[in-house]
Structure 1
Amino acid sequence: MLRFDDLQLFVRTAETGSLSAAARLLDVSPAVASAALKRLEQQLQVRLLARSTRSLRLTPEGELYLVHARLALQSLEEGRQQLVGSQEGICGVLQLSAPSDLGRNTLLPWLDEFQDEHPQLQLRLLLADRVADLFREPVDIALRYGAPEDSSLVALPVAPDNRRVLCASPSYLARRGSPQSVEELHQHNCLLYMLHGRAHDRWRFQDGKREVLMNVAGDRVCDDADVTRRWAVAGRGIVYKSWLDVAEDVREGRLQVLLPNWLGEPTPLYLVCAHRAQLSKAVHLLRDFVQLRCQRLLDAAPWR
């Protein structure tokens, strides 16, 4: 079995170009360092370093193995830091991106409660319906609807069973009546929001095995999904929204669910980050916290 200190010795020797210098850095004798390197080469059955009395260089096999040795040491160090963190309270800054509607109307009170439980944690919240670039923007993690298209991102499910629902306010329904079928949406004012630069005007529904795709229209479009919800609450039309975004409005009677026998399109919520190294204790705790509260909302969903 490979030994941690042998890997350390090999990496330090490659970085310094000297076995004796690596031995000094690791506070071991040259004889111990030489024995460690010899033991590693014997276990791998390759020569990692070409040595003479005056020079030392990596062999082609050594250059190849150095990449893996560094990654192994980095992974072990990250594991150690997570263990240390698990024994302490969470602190520092957590930068989170979230959709505008979910963030303002659902997530904000949850984050207040989360910070009350972890007062040493600072939050920086970015609310936007555009997809944040997790590799370039100052964001640690993001809550996103739908699985990310970029397979290099790490995505953890938070509310995998979430769906869209049709909603309108009691005042709108009193004035215009309630649609009795998805086809009747053509007779109503449908409130739209912009998604990736275009209006989301193709609404998908399912009734058993039957699937219907409706092209809808209305007199209002906005690039902020929260605005479309506010228009619906104000009685301006029908909206097609994530259940997580409107569950509280439905519970308080500000909105009513329409055509509950028709399933809206799946809208799973994920926690997304660029690297697994970003899955700190704070991130795991926040995911569990939000996941539990999302499930409470989903338990009251109309398709249950």
Structure 2
Amino acid sequence: MYSTNDIQLFVLTADLGSLSKAARQLDLVPATASASLKRLELHLNTRLFVRSTRSLRLTPEGTLFLDYSRQALTLLTQGEALLRSDGVAKGHLRLSMPSDVGRNVLLPWLNAFQKAYPQVTLGLQFSDRIIDLFSAPVDVAFRYGKLEDSSLISQPLAASRRVVVASPAYLAQHGTPITPKDLADHNCLLFYLERGLFNNWRFHSGKNPIVIKVRGDRMTDDAAIAREWAISGLGIAYKSWLDVRQDLADGRLVTLMDQYVGEETPLNMVYPDRSSASPVVRALLLFLREKFYALGVPSERNA
């Protein structure tokens, strides 16, 4: 059986391209380093490197195993750090989130999270644009909808659906639409998503899908502005229930056409890979799930 030290030597050898250099850096004699690598290859029943007198390069199997080895060492390091810190989450975390749910739902909870974990610092980005987590300076993103990039790790936070909303003042002046087709006679408040203008509103009535292309005199790249327009009585919006939950409770907005089911918009916490789940990320995930549960909003996993 191989040891953690064998994995560490393998990763360092791949990084340096030399077994002897890796051995010197780990303060090992060449014979010990060579025996460590052979022990690992014997256990895996495969060659990890192609060796010659002048070069050392990974085999395809070695390249595959290298990714898992890095993740294993990262997780062990994080686990050791968590034990040394007595389980206290600490460090800097860069977060990206949709503008509306970020400001109106998550922000107060993030403030409470920092109060509970004073050794945590947060950097926040509010944007409805879907960022590339592999290139952007962001550790964790909050995203609505089903995850399309299967290489990312997605942790469900809350189940939600889109709802059609308007202010009582708008309805008093312009009337109340009864069916999705009636939206053609109303000013619909539009915003841009990653694929362009969000003007195809989708519903279900039983098992029958309904898609209505709507129009309006206002468009924005910030979905929070569309919500503000709706509150001001300027038109009808199609928003995630989480975004307008408090507006509905306070009577600033009312839902329309409740017999038609809006499209699902589950809220997820997303990060690049499992090695990104540091103690502070895990603490934040648990903290937010408890907050949503207290609101009576189940995560998608439990919905």
Tell me the TM-score range normalised by the shorter chain. 0.7 to 0.9
SS of the equivalent of 2:136 reads coil
Q: Which amino acid aligns with 2:172?
A: A
5+ long unaligned stretches in structure 2: none
Between stretches 180-189 and 70-79, larger displacement belongs to 70-79
**Structure-2 change in CA distance of 1:80 and 1:233 (3 Å):** same
Q: Which amino acid aligns with 2:273?
A: H
**TM-aligned CA deviation for residue 64 of structure 1:** 4.9
TM-score by length of 2: 0.83
Q: Which amino acid aligns with 2:260?
A: W
User: Which of residues 219, 223, 226 in structure 2 aligns to 1:225?
Assistant: 223
User: Which of residues 267, 270, 292 in structure 1 aligns to 2:268?
Assistant: 270
SS of the equivalent of 1:132 reads coil
Matches within 5 A, 1:28-47: 28=28, 32-33=32-33, 35-37=35-37, 39-40=39-40, 42-43=42-43
Over residues 5-43 of structure 1, what are the superposed CA-to-partner deviations in whole Å (9 max), with x where a residue is unaligned?
A: 344455666747465x65554445566455545545654
SS of the equivalent of 1:122 reads strand
Q: Which amino acid aligns with 1:80?
A: L
C-alpha distance in 1, partners of 2:100/2:45? 59
C-alpha contact 1:244 1:294 (8 A) present in aligned 2: no
**Structure-2 change in CA distance of 1:147 and 1:31 (3 Å):** same
C-alpha distance in 1, partners of 2:12/2:193? 50
SS of the equivalent of 2:110 reads helix
What is the number of equivalent residue pairs in this alignment?
295
**Structure-2 change in CA distance of 1:94 and 1:175 (3 Å):** same
C-alpha distance in 1, partners of 2:181/2:49? 73
Matches within 5 A, 1:107-122: 107-122=106-121
User: Which of residues 196, 199, 205 in structure 2 aligns to 1:198?
Assistant: 196
TM-score by length of 1: 0.83
Q: Which amino acid aligns with 1:85?
A: A
Residue of structure 1 in register with 2:138 after alignment: 139
Over residues 38-84 of structure 1, what are the superposed CA-to-partner deviations in whole Å (9 max), with x where a residue is unaligned?
A: 545654567778999xx6764x7x74565356445423321222212
C-alpha contact 2:17 2:55 (8 A) present in aligned 1: no
C-alpha distance in 2, partners of 1:123/1:17? 39
Q: Which amino acid aligns with 1:182?
A: P
Residue of structure 1 in register with 2:4 after alignment: 4
Over residues 179-210 of structure 1, what are the superposed CA-to-partner deviations in whole Å (9 max), with x where a residue is unaligned?
A: 22222222222111122363211111112112
C-alpha distance in 1, partners of 2:49/2:206? 66
5+ long unaligned stretches in structure 1: none
Residue of structure 2 in register with 1:74 after alignment: 70
Query: Residue 241 in 1 paired to residue 239 in 2?
Result: yes
Matches within 5 A, 1:49-60: 58=56
SS of the equivalent of 1:251 reads helix
